[in-house]
Structure 1
Amino acid sequence: MKHMIMIRTMTIMKTVDILKAMDITEQLANEIGFLPRDCLFLRLATEEACTNAYEYCQKTGRLPFRIFWKIDTSQFTIIVKQRGGCFSVAKTDNVNTGARGRGLQLIAHIVDEVFVKRTGNNVLLCMCKCKKNE
């Protein structure tokens, strides 16, 4: 079987675009065979990543930002690309009871791999979910 790769992209300029991105994530995850629970969680990861990027970019005057979906036969990758400073993501079981700051932890527990990568003036938040063979 040939190793197919499909890439889709979208520019996020307004909060309504985040809702569209969530719909696209859920639709793509469903189309490639993720279980409904995983589709919902991937939708949630998209919401958290895009909301974080939107709030940062809006506050710093760096809107718009972009989201990419990359699908191959075994993995679904969602990438949020924004201009700005780098940050880190580490999976931990410590509970954050503060008013904010749980989104990246939530993402780390939803996907199989999450990492942040700087490329020039851009920061990429990469979230990868492997497709399990049933």
Structure 2
Amino acid sequence: MQSLVIRKLERWDAEAVSRIQKAIIKGPVTIDYHTVVQEEAGKRDGVSFVAELDGELVGFMITYIIHGGFGLEKSAWIRLFGVDSKYMGQGIGQRMANEAFMVLKQMGIRNVFTSVMWDSTDLLSFFKSLGFERCEFINLKRTID
């Protein structure tokens, strides 16, 4: 993987991000990635990255900063993450995460959170390998009829 480049997320990455996610879930994409990428790529303090291999976008990590609330100090959340299934297990996700962690540390942010579905064992294992562990927060959901 000599030509792997980790760079900031740009607005024009939306189509490739959507393509990767569609391949991962093996079905229709229900998230409007164009809007998500436009929002996050346009932020001055954005800490979202993509991975390019030989000029092809093969991974993305989209994060956002919250400035406190519900007992949290300023922290970061990993909103979306994915690596093209052809390139999983090659350290691409770890490289993007390490880049994000370095920038977040420079910003004075110490805590990074994410939410993962309980049955996504591969994703849980990935985040565990990065040092993530269960925390004191519980996700709550209400369906609006």
Q: Same fold (TM over 0.5)?
A: no
Higher strand share: 1
TM-score, length-normalised on structure 1?
0.35
TM-score, length-normalised on structure 2?
0.33
Which entry has the higher C-alpha Rg, 1 or 2? 2
